[in-house]
Chain A
Amino acid sequence: MLRLIWKNAWRSKRRTVLTIASVAVSLFLLSTMLCYLSSGEKQLENSAGSLRVIARHATSLTFFLPEAHVAKMATVPHVTSVQACVWWGGQIEGMENQIFMSTIASDLDPLETMWDDYSFGPGAMDALRGELRGAVIAERLLAKLKAMKGWDIGQTIRLHSPIFKHDIELKLVGTCKGPDESILLFRRDYLEKVQDNPGRVGYCWLRVDKAENIPGVCRDVDALFANSDAETKTETEKAFMATFMSMMGNIKDLVVNIGLAIVVTILLVAANTMAMVARERTTEHAVMRCLGFSQGAIAFIFVAESVLISLLGAAVGVGLAAALYTPGRYDLGGFAPFFHMTPATTGIGLGIALGVGIVAGAVPAVAAARRSIVDGLRRVD
């Protein structure tokens, strides 16, 4: 029986190959999009369970907070530490579109307790304390820069910032490793010095003692600065990440819609093929039923053929994606650190192929099974 299904599928080699190819191409595209979506989800997920909240200017992320806010925030009950940061947005001359770096100027003292999900290279923190221009870089980002520019620890690098319109010179003194693999961290006191002490803070990370106190802390911090010159908006890391990512271009809906369009396209291609196949097999189906094959058996064999073809397409398309999108290979220059195939994305791709195969085969299969045997036998082609 399996033999028959297999052989049937290859009757018209050209047609089957073309169908498999179109299913493969579509599912490859779909896998690509799923990777993109799951990368974003993973980033959000990583920040979901944290005890960090972020306080920023109520109007927008692009407005600064006065430095005096930092000490006041530390007095809010249940806040265990406060880390003032500035998103500096560093870029490498000539490589603006190839490398994405989360270039952040930060206070040093709260760093290690605040970011307990990161590990710092041996001596990295001490080196940073001892070197005003020092910077700590994510291992993955360093590896990339090593390959592209030959940079390594000890190197002094020069970056410019489209936000602040000035350059800065940093010395790479150590590495770190954590969820954000595009981190480049340097000292905020150095940035203050370079900028002539404006006393500006981009945003503050606050660590809360217990998860259940997070909502209260958010409320209290915002209440503290209510009606001041710089009101704050304090939210959880996850909520902040979501806003941040939507600022980066909310194309999630678009991606989902294109994905759906792709699924419909594969379905149409497969359904068209199977309808053609059913028409050609009319006499044969009648003959097989004459031999005693039931309507169910005929329909099953037919659907199995359809499923086989679309799963072969999926094996090629999803397989290619799995081979290509290995962890860390394509991370959109560091912006999408989790852009790779996971068991879930592979499963979704195969699941869609299975569904497409069943649906595309089912309609002609039922029609074929219902057709009267006598009519099927009378048809002369």
Chain B
Amino acid sequence: MSDVLVEVAGVTKEYRRDDQAITVLEQLSLTIPRGDFLALMGPSGSGKTTLLNLLAGIDQPTAGRITVDNKVITGLGEGALAKWRSRTTGFIFQLYNLIPVLTAYENVELPLLLTSLSRAERRQHVMHALDIVGLADRAKHFPRQLSGGQEQRVSIARAIVVDPLLLLADEPTGDLDAKSAEEILTLLQRLNREFRKTIVMVTHDPKAAARASRTLHLEKGKLVEAAA
């Protein structure tokens, strides 16, 4: 087992609008070791979300190659990618994106419906994940009955319930007050240290970035390393 989890090799991403091609990422290369907690910073529109989407396997690069856990995901078909996503990545959104008609429990259970686990086994996993984020007592609550910070914790539980190799978070504290943001960052840090999760977190907030083990700056589609 190699120490490198993610290998981004010469990745370019262009968007075509009418006749004009906009290059969002240009010849970008990056290695993420297992157990890393990487913060991605950069001005708005610099391509942070785009890079994260490529790592999550929900978007394809125009050129270059992305390897995760020794598997080249670039060029995989949509069906194979969906399967890969369900086992390998956990995604945390800025706006939580919980399903409003499902309880916290059911939201967390959602990715497990794609596995062959029995109901009882699923229950075990869901309660464990909710326990880690400290919301086991809110299992029966609906998203609208939770605060923003709590919703984000449920969404983190949903992201970790399948025990993925790679956690991807796009401005997870961007919509939260300072105290909730602190809690979320502490939680992510704990997931990294205690559960050895590899995390890539996009953020605008230097304080958030400071919680990561290292920070990369993205500027005009190119990476600039900065001291952690």
Q: Does B101 contact A (CB under 8 A)?
A: yes
Q: A291 and B99: CB pair below 8 A?
A: no
Q: Does A273 contact B (CB under 8 A)?
A: no
Chain B interface: which of A14-22, A35-43, A282-290?
A: A282-290
Give the residue of B58, B83, B87, B99 whose beta carbon is less than 8 angstroms from that of A290.
B58
Q: Does A3 contact B (CB under 8 A)?
A: yes
Q: Mark A289-304, 1 if CB is under 8 A from B, else 0.
A: 1111111110000000
Chain B residues near A373: list those with CB within 8 A: 53, 58-59
Q: Does A268 contact B (CB under 8 A)?
A: no
A289 CA to B89 CA in the complex, in Å?
12
Q: Does B113 contact A (CB under 8 A)?
A: yes
Give the residue of B56, B59, B99, B111 whose beta carbon is less than 8 angstroms from that of A4.
B99
Q: A8 and B101: CB pair below 8 A?
A: yes
* Nearest chain B CB to A322 CB, angstrom units: 32
User: Which residues in window 134-163 of B have CB below 8 A to A?
Assistant: 158, 162
Q: A7 and B101: CB pair below 8 A?
A: yes
* Nearest chain A CB to B23 CB, angstrom units: 16
Interface residues on B, range: 20 to 34
Q: B97 and A294: CB pair below 8 A?
A: no
User: Which residues in window 36-62 of A have CB below 8 A to B?
Assistant: none
Given A1-B113, A8-B101, A11-B101, A292:B58 Cβ within 8 A? no
Interface residues on A, range: 20 to 34
Q: B110 and A288: CB pair below 8 A?
A: yes
* Nearest chain B CB to A300 CB, angstrom units: 12
Q: Does B85 contact A (CB under 8 A)?
A: yes
In the assembled complex, 15 residue pairs joining A and B whose CB atoms fall closer than 8 Å, in A order, are A3-B106, A4-B101, A11-B101, A284-B97, A287-B99, A288-B99, A289-B82, A291-B91, A292-B84, A292-B86, A293-B82, A293-B86, A294-B78, A294-B83, A295-B82
Q: Which residues of A contact B (CB under 8 A)?
A: 1, 3-4, 7-8, 10-11, 283-284, 287-297, 372-374, 377
Sorted from nearest, which 3 A-B pairs have the closest CB atoms? A292-B86, A373-B58, A7-B101
